[in-house]
């Protein structure tokens, strides 16, 4: 979208005076009219030339080609009047055809270059008004002011969505933090770690942003877990643990009809799935687990191991690395583990890290 914006800006900077769309329509109509007029004038001239020759033949008869002129060869007043009427009718018909062609051609050009693009914009806006957020594909942009309008409309809608998502994430993360005081800031740190791992794995900027949002909201389902379980100052009982294990499904259900990317919903559902199939809630294995879930699982474990919990102190970095290596291809995806270990080795990630919502993995 940014590349398309720069392209359109460069195109529009070359305009001088009247808009390019107006110039294109005017030139197209003028060229079309000129072409039609030249063709019709040629046809009319040829037709009038033939009419004139016929009139001369009738008026003068053999006088054109011979010396003899007969009275019967002359036109009567009625015949001359008839010729004039027929000539006038042909002129009116030719003029009508010319006007019809010009008006039709102009209407088609205006419809193609102006009316149809405007209808396209309105149709996408109508979708958005009915809760179906629709961006106009950049391949449908005409290279004129209407294309710039489509691009501006997309950028405005994108900005509004980003603002909405930011406010929604801040509110939801604050709700989780307020309910689970022992893991305050956990979601933001997981989002930071997950985006950094995604960047190290070579994922796109959009995928990194999605990973960040997924990390921020991966524990949203804990809102539905009783506080006495979330804030228990001890290891949970088996019954309490069964209740706690429901938070991935609860989180997925809460995000199912939101405007967040699918990765956010899938991350909430699968961030506790183990690579060997022993995780929950679905017991998925290997590549059955979405990539977002595999990365979030590593990021979540990293923060859990490096944070203070009511039943233990944070692990040392040597212990963290040992745990990651020991559970490589067991609990955790090897690629995600390797990416995290590379970040740690190169000093490209801060652990533990109090991360704000506006930061990004690029700052790691």
Residues 107-153 have pLDDT tens digits of: 777 777 777 777 777 776 666 555 566 777 776 677 766 777 777 77
Tokens (6 digits) for 193: 């770690």
Quote the CA–CA distance of 338 and 319 in Å, as a whole number.
Answer: 16
Residues 137, 214: one domain?
Answer: no
Q: Which has the higher per-residue pLDDT, 221 or 259?
A: 221
**187 plus 66 within the same structural domain:** no
- Answer yes or no: do 9 and 138 share one domain: yes
Inter-residue long-range contacts of 333-336, CB under 8 Å, 24+ positions, other chains counted: 333/275, 333/289, 333/294, 333/295, 333/297, 333/298, 334/275, 335/201, 335/294, 336/197, 336/201, 336/294, 336/295, 336/297, 336/298
Max avg pLDDT among 39-48, 167-176, 265-274:
265-274
Same domain, 129 and 270: no
- Model confidence at 224, in pLDDT bands (50, 70, 90)? confident
The residues, any chain, with a CB within 8 Å of residue 218's CB and separated by 6 or more, are 187, 190, 191, 251, 267, 268, 271, 296, 300
Domain count, the chain: 2
* Residues 122 and 196 reside in one and the same domain: no
In this structure, the answer to whether residues 151 and 193 fall within a common structural domain is no
Would residue 43 count as lying in a domain? yes
The answer to the question of residue 99 being in a domain is: yes
Nearest in space to 190 (alpha carbons), one of 264, 250, 124, 246: 264
Read off the pTM.
0.58
Structural domain includes residue 241: yes
Q: Comparing C-alpha atoms, which of 259, 187, 263 is closest to residue 223? A: 187
Does 352 sit behind a cis peptide bond, omega within 30 degrees of 0 on the bond before it?
A: yes
What range defines the domain where residue 120 resides?
A: 2-156
Least confident of 93-107, 242-256, 321-335: 93-107
Query: Any idea which of 10-19, 76-85, 221-230, 288-297 has the lowest mean pLDDT?
Result: 10-19
Q: Is 173 a member of any domain?
A: no
Considering the domain architecture, whether residues 24 and 60 belong to the same structural domain is answered as yes
Supply the angle between the helices 262-270 and 247-255 in degrees, to the nearest 10.
170
Helix (H, G, I), strand (E, B) or coil at 332: strand
Question: Which of 111, 140, 156 is where one domain is finished?
Answer: 156
* Per-residue pLDDT, 226: 85
- Count the Cβ atoms, other than its own, within 10 Å of residue 248: 26
Task: Verify that 146 and 263 share a domain, yes or no.
Answer: no
Tell me what the pLDDT averaged over the chain comes to. 76
Domain match, 200 and 336 both: yes
**Residue 172 lies inside a defined structural domain of this protein:** no
Percent of the chain predicted with pLDDT > 90:
27
- Enzyme catalytic residues: 222
Specify the higher pLDDT residue, 327 or 41.
327
239 and 337 fall within a common domain? yes
The CA distance from 349 to 347, in Å, is: 6
Q: What is the CATH number of the domain that holds 216?
A: 1.10.3210.10
User: Does 42 lie in the same domain as 134?
Assistant: yes
Please report whether residue 290 resides in a domain.
yes
Identify any residues that bridge with 328 across adjacent strands, giving them in sequence order: 332
For the stretch 274-313, pLDDT in tens is 999 999 999 999 999 999 999 999 999 999 898 876 667 8
Claim to verify: residue 208 and residue 93 sit in the same structural domain = no
């Amino acid at each position: 979208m940014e590349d398309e914006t720069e392209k359109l800006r460069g195109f529009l900077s070359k305009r001088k005076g009247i808009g390019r769309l107006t110039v294109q329509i005017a030139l197209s109509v003028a060229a079309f009219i000129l072409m039609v007029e030249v063709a019709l004038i040629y046809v009319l001239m040829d037709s009038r030339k033939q009419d004139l020759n016929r009139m001369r033949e009738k008026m003068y008869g053999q006088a054109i080609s011979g010396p003899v002129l007969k009275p019967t060869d002359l036109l009567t007043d009625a015949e001359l009047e008839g010729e004039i009427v027929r000539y006038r009718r042909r002129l009116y018909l030719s003029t009508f055809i010319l006007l019809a062609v010009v008006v039709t051609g102009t209407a088609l050009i205006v419809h193609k270059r102006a009316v149809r693009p405007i209808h396209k914009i309105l149709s996408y806006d109508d979708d958005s008004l009915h809760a179906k957020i629709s961006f106009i594909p950049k391949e449908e942009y005409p290279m004129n002011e209407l294309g710039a309008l489509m691009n501006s409309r997309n950028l405005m809608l994108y900005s509004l969505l980003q603002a909405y998502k930011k406010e929604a994430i801040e509110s939801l993360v604050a709700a989780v933090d307020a309910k689970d005081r022992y893991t305050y800031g956990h979601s933001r740190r997981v989002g930071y770690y997950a985006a950094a791992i995604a960047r190290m794995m070579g994922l796109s900027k959009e995928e990194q942003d999605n990973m960040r949002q997924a990390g921020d909201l991966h524990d949203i389902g804990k809102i539905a877990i009783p506080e006495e379980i979330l804030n228990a100052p001890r290891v949970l009982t088996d019954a309490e643990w069964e209740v706690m294990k429901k938070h991935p499904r609860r989180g997925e259900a809460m995000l199912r009809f939101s405007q967040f990317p699918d990765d956010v919903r899938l991350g909430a559902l699968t961030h506790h799935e183990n690579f060997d199939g022993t995780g929950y809630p679905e017991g998925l294995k290997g590549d059955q687990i979405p990539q977002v879930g595999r990365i979030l699982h590593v990021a979540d474990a990293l923060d859990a191991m490096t944070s203070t919990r009511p039943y233990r102190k944070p692990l040392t970095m040597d212990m963290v690395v040992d745990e990651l290596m020991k559970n490589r291809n067991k609990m955790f995806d090897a690629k995600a583990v390797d990416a995290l270990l590379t970040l740690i080795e190169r000093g490209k990630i801060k652990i533990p890290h109090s991360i704000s919502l506006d930061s990004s993995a690029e700052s790691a």
